[in-house]
Amino acid sequence: MANAQLFQTLKGIFVPRANGLNSEGAPAYTMTPRHQLAQYAATGCLNSTYYVNAQSQLATVMELCEKVDTRFIAQTAIYCRERGYMKDMPALLTAVLAAKGAPELTPVFRRVVNNGKMLRNVVQIIRSGAAGRKSLGTRPKKLVQQWLNRASEKELLAASIGNAPSLGDVVKMVHPKPSQAWREAFFAWLIGKPFNAQELPDALKAFEAYKADQSQPVPEVPFQMLTSLTLSAQAWAQIARQGGWHMVRMNLNTFGRNGVYQLPGMIEVIADKLRDPEAIARAGVFPYQLMSAYTAASSDVPRAISDALQDALELSLANVPKVEGKVVICPDVSGSMQSPVSGFRGTATSTVRCIDVAGLIAAAMLRKNPDALVLPFENYVRVCDLNARDTVMTNAQKLAAIGGGGTNCSAPLAQMNKQKVMADLVVYVSDNESWIDQRAGATATMAQWAVFKERNPAARLVCIDCTPNSTSQAAERVDVLNVGGFSDDVFKIIAAFSAGQLGAGHWVGEIESIALE
């Protein structure tokens, strides 16, 4: 008689055997090369994380770019820039297309390089040789020249902030032929050559005048150009009024140190800017960036500003779906989720961790689906008392406060199976590095999902991965969606999936549908 332990009958529908190992050496499902590239591009910041260092991230992305066609590389770059709000990864993929001489480079460059920082990122990566060659080449050089001749005065001034390379370095590399007299004067000013001061753009003229006489109005230039000067509280207030949304968010403590909030009306001006729905939409803000600003606010920042950040966070989560039926949300609160969400960057490391993002997503979904069941897990399911009427920030902080322990992705499903829970949508937010629940054959998560499906045949499972990864604990199929990233586009995809509106390709199919023409 056959070994009953070895050949025991599994409950539920058939589940595939695990075909790979995760970073903990535990059984997992290996994603397709396209899915892996999408996952790395949507979550990777080319910095070291808990499981993956920066060098291995780069090596993996370059290896994956050899396994997929250039059209998909192009579509992934555009998706991650326009819908994922990423920076370094879209720049890297653009540089890869340049090194390959791919015909898709032109439309990708024009959509990915939408500001001066992205221009300098792409040039830096190409010149480093990491993408396959060190020279810009004829077509990339022309694209850079075109950007320099199409950018507005404001865009060029913003691009002039930063080094390695500086915008002046870029101008020296590509030698753009200025299309207007003011550009000729600006490029000369930028690289330290003689220029006609009367031809300088208006903002630069105002800047030069302000340096000579600070009784002049504060010029509308990036504030970094003014920081070498001794500025009054009134000058800083004007900088706050003129500044873009992200600039204001990132300098709330600076305004406090420089007395801006003591001036009549300035608290209201800044609060109104932070909670402006149109400005939030234009900024392409990550919800976690608002959480970061809220938690980093010093005692110099008034309560009204902190409240405005909470209002902005609620607005940034406008795409969180209200799902029909019963929803279960499973945030991973294990020890590995303590890793910074954008990786370790020395003194510039973000204070926001993967566990904060997991808590934020869970709290946001609870806000839209107040009868949802929230099951935070590590070794086992943890208890956390949440009130759907509380702010997203409050509930996210409660969830993040219970972190620690190992990773057992199957624990929530196992508990629901034991308690005979009925549900229509189960959402995981994790790094997918489950190791406590190792078993032969299918992963424990898929085995428990099969049992869950016996009671809930129409149920769907969504696994949101917030770290660069090539494996999952749940095999992609018609009722299972694996998606990566931190932008609100993830919520749009969940909404479409839960409503049965995604195609067979799920998330990868969404990327493949991006038109390049």
**CA separation for the pair 511, 507 (Å, rounded):** 7
Token pair, residue 492, equals 């749009």
330 with 273, same domain: the answer is: no
Task: List C-alpha distances in Å: 438 to 171, 284, 377, 411, 442.
Answer: 56, 39, 16, 12, 9
List, for residues 220-279, the tens digit of each pLDDT value: 999 889 888 889 999 999 999 999 999 999 999 999 999 999 999 999 999 999 999 999
- Both 161 and 258 in one domain: the answer is no
Distance of CA 468 to the CA centre of its chain: 12
The average pLDDT across 508-512 equals 96
Contacts of residue 152, defined as CB under 8 A and 6 or more positions apart, other chains included, come to: none
Please tell me whether residues 171 and 111 are part of one structural domain.
yes
Indicate the residue type of 283.
A
As to burial, measured by CB atoms within 10 angstroms (0-12 exposed, 13-18 middle, 19+ buried), residue 325 is: middle
pLDDT band, residue 10 (cuts 50/70/90) = very low
CB 462 within 8 A of CB 428: yes
Q: Are 210 and 219 in contact (CB under 8 A)?
A: yes
Q: Is 504 helix (H, G, I), strand (E, B) or coil?
A: coil
What's the pLDDT at 486? Answer: 80
Sequence-distant contacts of 308-311: CB under 8 A, at least 24 apart: 308/270, 308/271, 308/272, 308/274, 308/275, 309/249, 309/274, 310/391, 310/392, 310/393, 311/274, 311/275
Q: What percentage of residues in the chain have a pLDDT greater than 90?
A: 72
Q: Are residues 477 and 351 in the same domain?
A: yes
User: What is the mean pLDDT of the segment spanning 501-506?
Assistant: 88
pLDDT bracket for residue 314 (50, 70, 90): confident
Residue with token string 């050899």: 66
- How far apart, in Å, do the first and last CA atoms of the chain sit? 63
Q: Of 5-19, 181-195, 305-319, which gets the smallest average pLDDT?
A: 5-19
Q: Are residues 226 and 187 in the same domain?
A: no
pLDDT tens for 103-118 read 999 999 999 999 999 9
The Cβ of residue 65 has, within 10 Å, a number of other Cβ atoms equal to 23
Per-residue tokens: 388: 């759907």
pLDDT at 4: 52
Q: For 441-452, what is the mean pLDDT?
A: 97
Q: At what angle do helices 167-174 and 116-128 cross, to 10 degrees?
A: 60
DSSP letter at 260 equals G
- Please indicate, yes or no, whether residues 492 and 394 belong to a single structural domain of this protein: yes
The pTM assigned to this predicted structure is 0.90
- CA-wise closest residue to 277 among 285, 289, 269: 285
Residue 32 identity: T
Query: Are 351 and 449 within one domain?
Result: yes
Torsion 342-346-347-351 (CA) sign: positive
pLDDT band at 6 (very low <50, low <70, confident <90, very high): very low
Among 316, 338, 369, residue at a domain's last position: 316
Q: Are residue 300 and residue 328 in the same domain, yes or no?
A: no
What letter represents residue 374's amino acid? V
CA angle 308, 229, 172 (to 5 degrees): 95
The answer as to whether 38 is a domain residue is no
Angle between helices 392-400 and 354-368 (to 10 degrees): 140
Residue 206 in any domain: the answer is no
Do 174 and 251 have their domain in common? no
- What residue ranges in 325-423 does DSSP mark as E strands? 327-331, 373-374
What pLDDT does 227 receive? Answer: 82
Mean pLDDT for the stretch of residues 15-23: 93
Q: Is the pLDDT of residue 11 over 60?
A: no
Fill in the DSSP letter of residue 470. Answer: S
Residue 406: its pLDDT value, please? 95
Quote the pLDDT of residue 489. Answer: 87
Q: Record the tokens describing residue 217, joined without a space.
A: 């109005």
Whether 504 and 384 map to the same domain: the answer is yes
**Domain end residue (candidates: 247, 281, 316):** 316
Residue 51: predicted pLDDT: 60
Average pLDDT over residues 8-35: 84
312 and 332 belong to one structural domain: no
Does 166 fall in a domain? Answer: yes
Q: Looking at the domain assignment, is residue 96 inside a domain?
A: yes
* 492-504 exposure pattern, b = at least 16 Cβ within 10 A, e = fewer: ebbbbbbeeebee
pLDDT for res 13: 54
Q: Concatenated DSSP letters for 123-162?
A: HHHHHHTTTS-SS--HHHHHHHHHHHHHS-HHHHHHHTS-
* Number of domains present in the structure of the chain: 3
User: Domain end: 287, 316, 345, which one?
Assistant: 316
User: Which residue range forms the structural domain that includes residue 170?
Assistant: 69-199
pLDDT category at 217 given cuts 50, 70, 90 is confident
> Is the domain of 342 the same as that of 448?
yes
Beta-strand pair 460-465/480-484 = parallel
Higher per-residue pLDDT: 46 or 96: 96
> Would residue 391 count as lying in a domain?
yes
How many residues belong to the chain? Answer: 517
Give the per-residue pLDDT at 134: 87
Q: What is the pLDDT of residues 144-202, one digit of tens each?
A: 999 999 999 999 999 999 888 999 999 999 999 999 999 999 999 999 999 999 999 99
Domain membership of residue 394 (yes or no) is yes
